Amino acid sequence: METFSKSSVVVAVVVVAATTWLWRMMNWLWFKPKRLENRLRNQGFDGRPYRFLKGDMKEAVEMLKEAKSRQMDITDDAALRVFPFPYHTINNYGKKSFTWFGPVPRVHLMNPEHIKEVLTKVYEYPKARGPNPLTSLLARGVASYNGDKWAQHRKILNPAFHQEKLKLMVPVFHRSCKEMVDEWEKVVKSEGITSCELDVWPYLQNMTCDVISKTAFGSSYKEGSRIFELIREMGTLIVQIARQIYIPGWRFVPTKVNTRMKLVHKEIQESMEGIINKRQKAMRMGDDAVSNNDLLGLLLESNNKDGYMTIEEVIEECKLFYFAGQETTSTLLAWTMILLSKYPAWQERARQEVLHVLGTDLNIDFTALDSSSLSQLKTMTMIIYEVLRLYPPATQLIRVVERDTKLGDFVLPAGTQMALPAILIHKDPEIWGDDAGEFNPERFADGISKATKNHNQQGAYFPFGWGPRICIGQSFAMMEAKMALAIILKRFSFELASSYVHAPSTEALTLQPQFGARLILHKL
């Protein structure tokens, strides 16, 4: 009888546990999504009906695959190739629409005022985390943190990007850019003529890697090249994972992608630990050649104070800056050279400005260059702003609603995600005018605030984010890009090669030219 009683208790516990688990799963995969869908539809939002588990992911992946199979012209909207499902959803259901990211509804915010509010209230609208924990392996630094931890890390990192620190980096920018252009000249000379065809994309990547290595970590691209290779590979793997429906526990299954992700992560961690240990050893030995003023120095200094970063957190911040520190600038430079090749009048206008501001000597003396000289390049600034409008490094930002929140004239229910699609907002004719899809840097002649139809429309332009969480390296990227373009424009003119294939892609997270940037360089 006693044995029977114990067995009954065990069975009852198992039944209760199984029932609870089943209820939670059904609530997550069906009841909650349907409740959220009803609440959104009752407020005028529209989209495809929710489908169990997968939502819209299957159709989104298929549409993306189909879009990538089509050829496109440089004047076509990049969103058609890298953002087709949200693009067509908004066209079909209107600006007040949503898509399904698995069982999670994702509302598209197309109103600049709403975007401004969301990006300003960083505590109310935190960054969304991917459902698969493996996606966080790339970097869990300041860009991914929320709340007080984000504020603490941002405060520690800010001094590394103050204007006075950036001024000290100008010579480093110059040397790395000049070395790249010198390589281009060698290639041209080897052809025995004054021009040649070259894919400038890998050169731009290597140059920006060299800059971030020297300015942030006191090393060089050669020393950190393996880390860059691994981080790029991890970015590609994360994109693959993000396009799959995640089932809890699936990350532990030894699939090809899961296994490779963990191996790449392990090697990156070990490489970063090696760089940090090398710096710590030099600091302990009082090596005068070691500077604590770069990013790594600031991070390690904070590690020595109570309540600041642990070594693990230092590693995560280093990984983040290895990735973001070169991806943003290299893609910006690639798209700028591609568009200036397409629009030679703007290329020549930028060149004449460089010659006027920096002199006609083809070999720029970096001692005559500083941040104030670069800030005088107004036409170049207009061009860069326009390139970032058409080809923002991050095509969209995602925020999450943790509690029912009023935004404008509607209430977003807890559990909803918000998509802030820069690649669509930046080309909305209602915001930018009838020429929204065209390359026209002149729109920025009076600055960003007056570039839209209704002046000072904050929240309409956010290639680096906006508000308190705006990219901490924005000024760094702009200064580096201006330096590189100034040197390039002084020594080369360029045009699109007939072999150039226009194929914007987000296969490595940021918006990149999938098949490179094949140009014809003409030595001046």
pLDDT tens-digit map of 76-108:
999 999 999 999 999 999 999 999 999 999 999
Task: Please tell me whether 471 is known to bind a ligand.
Answer: yes
**Which of the residue ranges 123-132, 204-213, 463-472 would you say has the lowest mean pLDDT?**
123-132
What is the radius of gyration, based on Cα positions, of the chain? 25
Q: At 271, is the secondary structure helix, strand, or coil?
A: helix
**Which of the residue ranges 180-189, 243-252, 282-291, 317-326 would you say has the lowest mean pLDDT?**
282-291
Average pLDDT of the residues in 306-313:
75
Domain boundaries, the chain: 1-131+398-436
Q: What distance in Å separates the CA atoms of residue 95 and residue 113, rounded to the nearest whole number?
A: 14
Whether residue 341 has pLDDT greater than 70? yes
Residue 506 has φ and ψ, to the nearest 5°, of -115, 30
439 Cβ contact partners less than 8 Å away, ≥ 6 residues apart: 339, 342, 343, 346, 386, 390
Q: Percent of the chain scored above 90 by pLDDT? A: 60
pLDDT at 368: 56
Q: What distance in Å separates the CA atoms of residue 357 and residue 354, rounded to the nearest whole number?
A: 5
Place of tokens 């520690």: 156
pLDDT at 150: 92
Average pLDDT of the residues in 180-198:
91
pLDDT tens-digit map of 426-461:
999 999 999 999 999 999 999 999 999 988 788 999
Tell me the pLDDT of the chain averaged across its residues: 90
234 Cβ contact partners less than 8 Å away, ≥ 6 residues apart: 137, 138, 261, 264, 265, 268
